[in-house]
């Protein structure tokens, strides 16, 4: 995941099966490195119990304020995502400790992979039946009620999902802020 180094103090992920940087799959000659968040797999749930994963980003003081817009590129990595929409809550905390929460669906939501066979020209073999395509959403911090001034953190709290073999996969890239 890319973000301006001057805007973040830290980011962390808790309760995920996997969180790592990887190349976005499905591309012929891909060099786009993204953050991969995966949760809800049966194996992980059996070992550690059901988790409510959270991804937290801490901002440097004065970098993000109420009314600014945060842009982030997201997409689902679920191979068969027709009935598995990824949803999560976005929680902003201001410098005074006030908190406000909205759903990612309020800002456009997470897109599912495009259904299409992906062939590698060398062997003309199918390497996947869908391809994740990142879509940028705009999180307008002015829409969150009850917070004001500097925003010190943004937390994504993943909605509960039934465990499945591979669970849910979310790819994240290009976080940046547009000042009001």
Would the pLDDT of 123 be above 60? no
The beta-strand segments (E) located in 46-104 are 54-59, 69-76, 88-94, 99-103
Residue 123 lies inside a defined structural domain of this protein: yes
> pTM of the prediction?
0.85
For residue 2, tell me if it sits in a domain: no
- Residue 135: inside a domain: yes
Number of domains within the chain: 1
Is 101 among the domain residues? Answer: yes
pLDDT at position 5 over 60: no
Contact 167, 44 (CB under 8 A): yes
pLDDT for the residue 125 = 54
Domain ranges, residue 19: 8-178
Query: pLDDT per residue over 28-84, tens digit each?
Result: 666 788 999 999 888 888 888 777 899 999 999 888 999 999 999 999 988 765 556
* 1 inside domain: no
Report the pLDDT value the prediction gives residue 93, as an integer from 0 to 100.
Answer: 97
What pLDDT does residue 99 have? Answer: 98
Q: What is the CATH number of the domain that holds 165?
A: 2.60.120.260
């Amino acid at each position: 995941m890319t973000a301006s180094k001057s805007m973040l103090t830290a980011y962390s992920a808790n309760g995920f099966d996997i969180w790592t940087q990887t190349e976005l799959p499905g591309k012929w000659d891909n060099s786009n490195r993204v953050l991969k968040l995966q949760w809800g797999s049966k194996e992980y749930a059996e070992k550690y119990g059901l988790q409510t994963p959270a991804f937290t980003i801490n901002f440097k003081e004065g970098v993000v304020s109420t009314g600014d817009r945060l842009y982030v590129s997201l997409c689902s990595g679920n191979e068969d995502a027709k009935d598995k929409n990824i949803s999560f809550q976005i929680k902003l905390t201001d410098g005074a400790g006030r908190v406000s929460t909205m759903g990612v669906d309020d800002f456009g939501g997470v897109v599912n992979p495009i259904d299409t066979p992906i062939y590698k020209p060398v062997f003309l073999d199918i390497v996947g039946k869908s391809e994740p395509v990142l879509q940028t959403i705009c999180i307008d911090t002015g829409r969150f009620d009850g917070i004001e001034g500097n925003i010190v953190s943004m937390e994504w709290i993943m909605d509960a999902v039934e465990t499945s073999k591979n669970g849910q996969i979310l790819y994240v890239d290009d976080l940046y802020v547009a000042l009001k």
